[in-house]
Structure 1
Amino acid sequence: MDTQTFIDLQVRDGIATLYLNRPDKRNAMSDEMRTQFIHALERVAADKAIRALVLTGNGKGFCAGGDITGMERRMQAPAGEVGFNGWHRQQRVHHTQTLLHTLPKPTIAAVNGAASGLGADTALACDFIIASEAASFTWSYIKRGIIPDGGGMYFLPRRVGLSKAKELIFSGRTVDIDEAQQLGIVDRRTGADTLVADAQAWAAELSRGSATALALGKTILNQSFELSASQVFAQGSQAQGICYTSTEHRASVMDFLAKRDAKKAQSGNKE
């Protein structure tokens, strides 16, 4: 029996575009879809030819969150297994979100429609969010009697501040594109017809520099709110030492010196 393709990964000119591909369910995340998502993220992380990732959804929605059918199955498990089953599922969820958050390359969520619950958290796990006019966000976990489990309690306060994050999570209300941009949930806004192309162009722009410097810089920046200044300096020193040995740094310096010497020679000839 063929496995349905819930994740469509396309790579062109060094930019990977990952489509959540369950449009009939507004790309709600099932267990099988999550497994395919993990494999795709691992491939992107390991492939040195891929410089950046764009994440979007097929159909009208970005991601409707967790699959309600999966929730129903979990509730039907024997009482003595519910807790451990839930713990095991959370390990998979957190592994997925961590892979996306720590991907050693620039990541952009291109939000084409509703991003709800886990879908909103998944967008926030990316470095940047670009959205179309049809986009909306809701941390609707409270309506199912649960808390954000995809990183929303970590990512959202860093985008909008603690008080506003509490308000959005406690109410579970929908944030439209205008408010999302005003609050800083969305970094850029564009038309629906050009959303993916604009995200890909932005990804190309962000990933032109040294892949070594980008990966190391992102790793430190992701921790910068939790670390002291001295810890950031210490990690920065180690990272810079690696950058000094990189092919990109050497090529850049040699290119600069060659241009400088050529300019000097040209000036000397004019004299």
Structure 2
Amino acid sequence: MPNSQVTAKQPRVTVEIIDEVAIVTLNRGSKYNALDMDMFYALDNTASELANNKAIRAVIVRGDGKVFCAGLDVKSIIKNPLNPGKLLKREEGELANLAQKVGYLWRQIPVPVIAVTHGVCFGGGLQIALGADFRYSTADCEFSVMEIKWGLIPDMSGMVTMRELTRIDIAKELTMTGRKFSGIEAEKYGLVTHVCDDPMAAAMTFVESLKTRSPDAIVAAKSLLNETWVASEQAVLVLETETQKKVMGKWNQIVAVTRNFVKKSLPYRKRSI
């Protein structure tokens, strides 16, 4: 029998340890695991705790219910005008702000992290998945760089992770259009590692193969590859935030939000940047 133990439980995230594997579940299935402030804080705390847990050999991130993650819970976030500032503020001595941490912190967990996606994986959900070392998905899972729908750009560390995985023209197309694409397309673009009928079972099988290798070598390999694959991540993270500040709250971004709720929409104005 597997040695199963619930080690942490938060309003938005659960963590279960099964045979040295930490299974992290986005636990807001009734809201399609959309990212509200509680989810941001819970993911930040969870990833930070797992980074210091030397007893685990791997981490699997999945979503409860019908989808992996539908992205930002816009209505919830904009209810409080202070929330965007909280998400974009970078604390002194920190590499990433809160919004970026939920995608970037998986890279800072020493052991391999596998994202298991199904249903939909939109916007911030996609950036969480891209922060993992591997992505296992169903063929019919829908993906989207959804931020353009709201007049924004992806700013949750996606510009660090996407550049390692796909061509720049593909990244530009997906980011500028926000169009939906399947798990099969995502695999073709390099954004998904493997398409599977049962991605959770496939991820567990993969983890079992990793457990046959030296845990020190696995951790060293992840660290070495992350540090040497590309350069100047800090510059990219800063640029994400500064670019987001240029568009957030401006006329065209407000129009983009309005068009999601009002049939008779306001026109866009000439670009301001």
For normalisation by structure 1, the TM-score amounts to: 0.74
Amino acid at match of 2:229: F
Give distance in 2, aligned partners of 1:85 and 1:14. Answer: 34
Q: Please, which of 29, 35, 51 is the counterpart of residue 23 of structure 1?
A: 29
- Indicate the residue corresponding to 1:200 in structure 2: 204
SS of 1:129's equivalent in the other structure is strand
- Indicate the residue corresponding to 2:148 in structure 1: 142
The Cα shift of 1:44 comes to: 2.0
The Cα shift of 1:42 comes to: 2.4
Q: How does 1:123-202 map to 2 (within 5 A)?
A: 123-191=129-197, 194-202=198-206
- Indicate the residue corresponding to 1:87 in structure 2: 88
Q: CA deviation digits over 1:246-267, x for unaligned, max 9?
A: xxxxxxxxxxxxxxxxxxxxxx
Q: Pairwise CA RMSD of aligned residues?
A: 2.2
Change (3 A) 1:25 1:48: same
For the 8 Å contact 2:138–2:195, the answer to whether it is kept is yes
Give distance in 2, aligned partners of 1:196 and 1:42. Answer: 23
Change (3 A) 1:178 1:98: closer
Give distance in 1, aligned partners of 2:87 and 2:54. Answer: 35
Q: How does 1:1-271 map to 2 (within 5 A)?
A: 5-74=11-80, 77=81, 84-85=85-86, 87-88=88-89, 91-191=97-197, 194-227=198-231
Higher mean displacement: 119-128 or 43-52: 43-52
Greater fraction of residues in helix = 1
Give distance in 1, aligned partners of 2:24 and 2:129. Answer: 13
For the 8 Å contact 1:157–1:164, the answer to whether it is kept is no
The Cα shift of 1:210 comes to: 2.1
Amino acid at match of 1:149: D
SS of 2:229's equivalent in the other structure is coil
For the 8 Å contact 2:63–2:69, the answer to whether it is kept is yes
- What 5-or-longer segments of structure 2 have no aligned partner? 1-8, 91-95, 233-273
Q: Which has the larger radius of gyration?
A: 1
Change (3 A) 1:71 1:32: closer
SS of 2:97's equivalent in the other structure is helix
Q: Could you list the runs of 4 or more consecutive aligned residues of structure 1 that deviate by over 6 angstroms after TM superposition?
A: none
The Cα shift of 1:59 comes to: 0.8
Give distance in 1, aligned partners of 2:60 and 2:176. Answer: 30
Change (3 A) 1:166 1:92: same
For the 8 Å contact 1:105–1:207, the answer to whether it is kept is no
- What 5-or-longer segments of structure 1 have no aligned partner? 229-271
Q: CA deviation digits over 1:155-208, x for unaligned, max 9?
A: 2232111111001000100111221122221111112xx322221221221243
For normalisation by structure 2, the TM-score amounts to: 0.74
Say how many residue pairs are matched. 219
For the 8 Å contact 2:36–2:77, the answer to whether it is kept is no
The Cα shift of 1:82 comes to: 7.9
Give distance in 2, aligned partners of 1:123 and 1:217. Answer: 20
* Percentage of pairs with the same residue: 30
- Indicate the residue corresponding to 1:252 in structure 2: none
